[in-house]
Structure 1
Amino acid sequence: MWFKNLSLFRFTEPFTLNADELAEKLDALRLRPCGAHEESSFGWTAPSGKSETSLAHATNGYMMLCVKKQERVLPPAVVNEMIQEKVVEAEEQQGRQLSKKERSRLKEELIFDLLPRAFTFSRKTYAYIDPKGGWLVVDTASANKAEDLLGLLRKSLGSLPAVPINTVNNPVTIMTQWLVSQETPTDIVVEDECELRSPGEDASAIRCKRQDLGLPEIQNHLDSGKEAILVALSWADRLSFILDKNFSIKRLRFLDLVQDQLEDIEVEGEDMRFDADFSIMSAELGLFLPRLIKLFGGVVKS
C-alpha cells in the first residue's frame, strides 16, 4: 500500500491510543453492506485485506486505517429515460401535465424500486496515524474525501484534535522564489512541471509540463508577476511529487532507492507484503515530512 497523494493534518494534542484501543473504538462504525434501499454505506474496514479483521494495522508505531464507501449505482441516463416514460404515461392517463412536485415524487418512487437491483461500487480511502510525529496522513488529493474520513474518525473517537498543516512561510512564496532564483536546498530538485498564476480575481494562468523551468520564457512569466501555485519536485533522489499552494502533495512516487529496500525483505502472501510496504513507506515519510515542513518555516501552532 503505497500512498499516491498526501493530505496532511497535525494533532494539536498527543494521540495516546494504541492500535488495539483504536481498533476497538472504530469497530462501532465498521462498514456494513448497503441495505436494499440504501444509496450508500460508509464505515471502517480492515486496511490490509481479506485475512485481517483488525481495523487498525500497526507497524513500527504507525497505525494504518481504511474507510470504505459502498454505493449503489443507478446510471442517470437510464433513470432519466425511465422517469420520462412514466411521466408521459401518467400525463396521458390524467389528461394534464404533471407538476414539478409530482414528477419529483415519481422519480423517488422509481429510484426506490430500482435500488435493490442496482450494482454496488466500493471505494477505499487510506490514512495512517504517526503518534510520535503528531501527524495524520490521508491518501487523497480531495479535501472532501479527507474531511469525510476525519469526520468518521471524529465520530468514532468522540473528538479529534487535528487540523490541516499551516506552514509559517506561504508555499506559493517559497516555490516562486525557488523558480526565480533557480536555487533550492541541496536535497530538493525542481523537476519539469509547474503552474503559474497571476494574483487577483481575474488571474491569468499557465501550466507547464515536461519543460525546463529555468528557460527564459518561464522567467518572463515570473517577472510579470505570476506566482508558482504548483511545482513538481523531488527529494534526495528518494521521492518525487507535486506540491501545491495548499501544501497538499499529489502524484507521490517512491523512487528506486526506496523501492530497492523491498528486495531485501522476504514476504509470503498479501498481508506480509502489505506490512512490508507500510513499514518502508511510513518510515520514509517519517523522515520526509518533517524535512519538507522545515523548508517552509515549520508549522503555525495555534
Structure 2
Amino acid sequence: MLFGKVKFYKINKDFPIDEQSLTNSLSKYLFQKIDRTQISTQGFVNPFSQYADKPVYGMSGAFMVCLREDSKPIPASAIKRKTNFRVRDLEKKKGEKATKEEKDDIKEQVTSEMVSQFPLDFVKTKHVNAIIFPKNNLLAIDTTSSKDCELIMAMLRTAIGTLPVIEFEADSMPTMVMTEWLRDSSSVPDSLELGHECQLKDESDEKGAVVACKNQELASDEIEAHLDAGKVVSMVAVEWNDSLRFKIKDDLTIVGVSYTDFLKERLKDDSGEGKAPEKFDAELAIAVENLRMLAPNILEMFS
C-alpha cells in the first residue's frame, strides 16, 4: 500500500507552488539510467509508472513525487582490501612506505575500476515517495529513514530552489504522553483506540531494558508492572479515526499502517474494475485525505 510508514515535516514558510510549476522544476532532474562510470544516480520518476516521464501526480491540491536512486553496492571492505594489496606491492617495489597521496591515488584508482566493472544486473534500485501539501504547509515522506528523507528533500531543494522544512516536534515528551495513555484510559484522545502492541523501555541508562509486547491487552497487570518499574512507552499500536491502524513511535513517525475494514471497502468500491490506474488513484486519494488530517492531529495529541 501507499505510505505504509510516514515521517512528517512542517513547511515553515508559505510555499506557493502549483502542479505545473512543480512539474517544470522536477522535469529538469528526471532519472537517468546509471552508467559504468557512476557509483550512483538519482532522479525523479512518475509515482505511478516509476518511469522517467511526468514526475508529479496531483490529487486534491496535493502533489505526490517519487525519487529513484540506482546505486552499486560495492562493499567498503572490498575496496580497502584491494587498496591495501596494491599499497603493499608498491612499497615492496619502492623499498619504503607509501605516502598518503600515493595511498589516496591507489584507492581512487581501485574504486574507479570496481565501479566500472560492477555488473549492471546487480545495481540496487530504491524509490522514495513523498506528498507535498502546499496549502497545509506539510510534507509527508513514505519512509522512516532519515537518510532517505534527506535524499529526496535535497533533490527537491535542488529542483525547486528551496524547501524550508523542519521535523515534527512535540510540545510534550511523546514517551510520557503514551505512557499516560496506558496508565489512564481516559487520557487517550477521542480519535484513538489503543491496539494490542507496544514497546516499553527503561530510560534510566543508555543500555536500558526494552520490552516488546504483541497480542497483549495493554490495560493489564503485566503492563502496569512494567510501568511501575519505571519503564516508559516508546511505541504503541492504535486505530485512528476508524480509518487507519498504525504504530506511533516516540519520534512521532508512524509505521505499520493498514486500513480498517471501512477503508478496505471504500478502496474496493473506488477501484472500479480493479485495474492498476484506478487502484492507484483510489489509494492515493485515501492517503492524501487521511495524511492531511492525521498530521495536525498527531501534533495535537502531544501538545
**Within 2, Cα distance between the matches of 1:219 and 1:51?**
51
1:230 maps to what in 2?
235
Q: Between 125-134 and 49-58, report the one with greater CA deviation.
A: 49-58
Amino acid at match of 2:29: L
Q: Contact 2:267/2:279 (CA < 8 Å) preserved in 1?
A: no
- Match runs of 1:219-298 below 5 Å: 219-264=224-269, 265-267=271-273, 269-297=275-303
Cα 1:139/1:167, change in 2 over 3 Å = same
Could you tell me how far apart the structure 1 residues matched to 2:232 and 2:280 are? 40
**Alignment partner of 1:138 out of 132, 137, 141:** 141
Shifted more, 18-27 versus 39-48: the winner is 39-48
Stretch moving more, 91-100 or 46-55: 91-100
1:44 is aligned to 44
What is the aligned length?
A: 297
Whether the aligned pair in 2 keeps the contact of 1:6 and 1:140 (CA below 8 Å) is yes
Which runs of 5 or more residues in structure 2 are unaligned?
none
Instruction: Report the alpha carbon displacement of residue 257 of structure 1 after superposing the two structures with TM.
Output: 1.7
In structure 2, C-alpha distance between the alignment counterparts of 1:91 and 1:293, rounded to whole Å: 61
Q: Offset at 1:172?
A: 1.7
Distance 1:103 1:62 in 2: 51
Q: Where in structure 1 do 4 or more consecutive aligned residues deviate above 6 Å?
A: none
3-state DSSP of counterpart to 2:72 = strand
Q: Quick check: 2:30–2:53 contact (8 Å CA) kept in 1?
A: no
1:44-63 residue pairs with structure 2 within 5 A?
A: 44-49=44-49, 53-63=53-63
| Contact 2:27 2:55 (C-alpha < 8 Å) held by counterparts | yes
- Structure 2 matches for 1:79-94, cutoff 5 A? 79=79, 82-83=82-83, 86-87=86-87, 89-90=89-90, 93=93
Cα distance per residue 1:1-21 (max 9 Å; x no partner): 511111101222333211111
Distance in 2 between residues matched to 1:238 and 1:147, nearest whole Å: 29
1:29 equivalenced with 2:29 (yes/no): yes
Does residue 189 (structure 1) correspond to residue 196 (structure 2)? The answer is: no
CA contact (8 A) 1:49 1:271 kept: no
After alignment, is 252-261 or 138-147 more displaced? 252-261
Alpha-carbon deviations, 1:249-300, whole Å to 9, x = none? Answer: 1222223221221221325653333222211221122333333332223xxx
Percent of aligned pairs with the same amino acid: 23
> In the aligned structure 2, how far is the partner of 1:187 from the partner of 1:17?
31
Superimposed CA distance per residue, residues 164-217 of structure 1 (whole angstroms, 9 cap, x where no aligned partner): 122333322210110111332343222232222334544623222213322323
Match of 1:300 in 2: none
Q: Which amino acid aligns with 2:211?
A: R
What residue identity is the alignment partner of 1:240? R
SS at 1:132 equivalent: helix
Closer/same/farther in 2, CA of residues 50 and 294 from structure 1, 3 Å limit? closer
Between 1:115-124 and 1:268-277, the stretch displaced more is: 268-277
Would the aligned equivalents of 1:51 and 1:271 in 2 still touch at CA under 8 Å? no
Equivalence for 2:210: 206
C-alpha contact (below 8 Å) 2:45/2:52 kept by paired residues: no
Counterpart of 1:175 in structure 2 is 178
**Structure 1 CA distance for aligned equivalents of residues 275 and 195 of structure 2:** 36
Structure 1: how far apart are the matches of 2:182 and 2:212?
Answer: 13
> For residue 115 of structure 2, what is the aligned residue in structure 1?
115
| TM-score under structure 1 length normalisation | 0.86
SS in 1 for 2:291: helix
Q: Residues 195 and 205 of structure 1 are in contact (CA less than 8 Å); yes or no, is this contact kept in structure 2?
A: no
In structure 1, give the amino acid aligned to 2:276: E
Separation (CA, whole Å) in 2 of partners of 1:77 and 1:161: 38
CA separation in 2, counterparts of 1:26 and 1:267? Answer: 32
1:204 and 1:50 map into 2 onto residues whose CA distance is: 43
